[in-house]
Amino acid sequence: MAKIQDSWAVRIFRHVSGTFSADEGNSRLLLVTIGIVLVVWHVAVLAAKGPFWLGLNMDPDYAYLLNSLDIARGLRPFHVDHPGTLVQLLGATIIRISHLFAKNSNLVEDVIRNSEHYLQIIAYTFFGLYALLLTVLALAVRAVTRNTIAAVIVQLTPLFASEIPGNLACAKPEAVLLSIAACVALATMIVIIRIDRRASPWMGLTFGVLAGAGLATKITAAPLFLISLFMLCGWRAWSAYFAATIIAGAVITIPAWPRLIYTFGFLERIATHAGLYGLGPPLHWELAIYWRTVINLLAGEPAMVAVMLTAILAVWIDRRRSEGRPEIRRAVLGFLAAQVVTVLMVARHPGGGFLGSGDHYLIPGLGLIGPTAAFAWILLAPAVTRQWSLVSGLLLGATALAVYQITTLCSVYRVLDIRHERQQAVVTYAHDRYPNAKIHYFYRASNPGFALYFGDNFAGMHYEKEIAAAYPAMSPWNGNPEPGHTTQLYQFQNSSSDVFYSVDWNRLGIKVTRVFGNNVEALYEVK
């Protein structure tokens, strides 16, 4: 490739690139400013998303809230599928601390009557932890590499994928998995600072604790720990790693021990059967369908694909340099391995997107997009001032990606806001038009009491009495109209209405009329 001198592209890159020494104070101010912008964005997403009791928001947040309440009361958690124990332990801790400042001394009654308050505190705590870890990682990257652009890229990780904003504004495992991915990247940075730490049992212990914490959060975290294959060496480090993984996983899941047999059964089922949560027929390996699913997953997150391809290019270019950075290459390869395996694993049982075209099961891999891009930039930075084609390609690619992501994030915000508005419209209509009618709620119907009932159903049904006292008019649908009511209302998410219409109402002599609704939620009158 031809060398160039003082071209406009080179001058731009020299001006903004952290490869060339920049003022330390200004760099820190920039990173803090980006952190504040991310906080504002997160608050906006939470506001657009609406209350947690809305139909599209309640699952699984209310299940985790009431399982956390179980642990806070000294009970074992009931919902252990993922197993999700770390999320429940964190939730229980937050509930206990928050309740110290509550006026109501009865813990259960206070959580039931102020469930939204507690969920907001949990969600903000999860986000605050993630934002803090990203800031620490970004400052570490800037301090070690003197590369401001790389530090900024790390901190912009939440904006690289359409699935991150909505899932981060929740009280569920994905929000915690993002923090664990950031911790793994930070541990990787520690090894890069001193390469002799690869053989250190303390680094094996660090990676092992993170592995145990990740597996206790959700099994989809497993691919993250392929990174340790690239960052550790020596029997002492590996012994510490495996011991710490087992001990950390066992200690964190202590509250769930009596029910872990259900966790293993759930994992065995999804590994061997098709359908939602492995409830379908035995799974047969159909390569055509599998690879089509892989392609669809990658197409849903183009930023991840672009960063992975750029990282491969960066590793190839750095290997050809006499003054390459093998420790950073090793980290990039570890990040790439984790992301590839995440996609391959999720393709067996895709879960669908929370908002956009992505898949929320990819969250652990999506959380590595920023660190992968940042480390790839560190490898590419020495070459961008000498190679015109590389400079122009990166500039055009980064511009196109930025435009796409900004458009996508705006779309995410609009979708959240529209869903919020339309669900709220159904709730308002039912309240104003039928103030005294009996309303039955089905899965994902928007109602505060029903959200609690849903969560309690996954928490051992310990709180029926308290929920009934707080929401006496709430009635979950049991499949049949109740006698003695001339007018009854049934509220559904539209995706659930096929279950409602599977009943032969005409044969039962019952008239069903849709009285209000939209493409998100609807209200039906039964006479």
Q: Residues 426-473: pLDDT tens digits?
A: 999 988 988 877 788 888 889 999 999 999 999 999 999 999 999 887
Query: Is the pLDDT assigned to residue 19 strictly greater than 50?
Result: no
- Give the domain extent around 441: 416-526
pLDDT at residue 18 in the model: 43
Question: Domain for residue 197, yes or no?
Answer: yes
312 and 439, same domain (yes or no): no
Query: Is the pLDDT assigned to residue 118 strictly greater than 90?
Result: yes
380 and 425, same domain (yes or no): no
292 and 236, same domain (yes or no): yes
pLDDT at residue 496 in the model: 57
pLDDT at residue 394 in the model: 73
pLDDT tier, 390 (very low <50, low <70, confident <90, very high otherwise): low
18 and 73, same domain (yes or no): yes
214 and 73, same domain (yes or no): yes
> What DSSP line would sit under 180-198, residue for residue?
HHHHHHHHHHHHHH-GGGG
pLDDT tier, 8 (very low <50, low <70, confident <90, very high otherwise): very low
pLDDT (mean) for 462-491 = 73
Total number of domains constituting the chain:
2
Query: pTM of the full predicted structure?
Result: 0.91
pLDDT tier, 269 (very low <50, low <70, confident <90, very high otherwise): confident
Looking at 390, 415, 440, which one is the last position of a domain? Answer: 415
407 and 426, same domain (yes or no): no
pLDDT tier, 165 (very low <50, low <70, confident <90, very high otherwise): very high
193 and 169, same domain (yes or no): yes
Q: Among the listed ranges 87-96, 219-228, 388-397, 501-510, which one has the minimum average pLDDT value?
A: 501-510
326 and 475, same domain (yes or no): no
Question: Domain for residue 2, yes or no?
Answer: no
Question: Domain for residue 3, yes or no?
Answer: no
Q: Which residues contact 111 (CB under 8 A, 6 or more apart)?
A: 65, 66, 69, 95, 99, 118
Looking at 392, 415, 438, which one is the last position of a domain? Answer: 415
Question: Domain for residue 436, yes or no?
Answer: yes
Q: Which residues contact 198 (CB under 8 A, 6 or more apart)?
A: 191, 231, 232, 233, 234, 237
390 and 495, same domain (yes or no): no
pLDDT tier, 4 (very low <50, low <70, confident <90, very high otherwise): very low
Buried residues in 448-485 as b, exposed as e (16+ CB within 10 A):
bbbbbbbbbbbbbeebeebbeebbeebbebeeebeeee
377 and 401, same domain (yes or no): yes
Give the integer Cα–Cα distance in Å for 317 and 379.
8
CA atoms within 13 A on the CB side of 93: 8
150 and 299, same domain (yes or no): yes
Q: How are strands ordered across the β-sheet holding 512-517?
A: 475-476, 438-441, 488-493, 521-526, 512-517
Looking at 394, 415, 436, which one is the last position of a domain? Answer: 415
Give the integer Cα–Cα distance in Å for 36 and 347.
36
Question: Domain for residue 1, yes or no?
Answer: no
Question: Domain for residue 68, yes or no?
Answer: yes
Query: Is the pLDDT assigned to residue 480 strictly greater than 90?
Result: no
pLDDT tier, 403 (very low <50, low <70, confident <90, very high otherwise): confident
pLDDT (mean) for 3-8 = 45
Highest mean pLDDT among 75-79, 143-147, 496-500: 75-79
Helix or strand run (H / E) with residue 330: helix 326-346
pLDDT (mean) for 207-223 = 96
pLDDT at residue 1 in the model: 40
Nearest to 88 by CA among 79, 97, 100, 101: 79
Nearest to 477 by CA among 440, 504, 452: 440
The pLDDT > 90 percentage for the chain reads: 57
392 and 426, same domain (yes or no): no
CB atoms under 10 Å from CB of 511, counted, come to 10
pLDDT at residue 329 in the model: 95
Mean pLDDT rounded to a whole number for the chain: 86
Q: Which residues contact 158 (CB under 8 A, 6 or more apart)?
A: 38, 41, 42, 130, 134, 164, 165, 168, 178
pLDDT tier, 266 (very low <50, low <70, confident <90, very high otherwise): confident
Each residue of 357-379: pLDDT tens digit?
558 899 999 999 999 999 999 99
Question: Domain for residue 340, yes or no?
Answer: yes
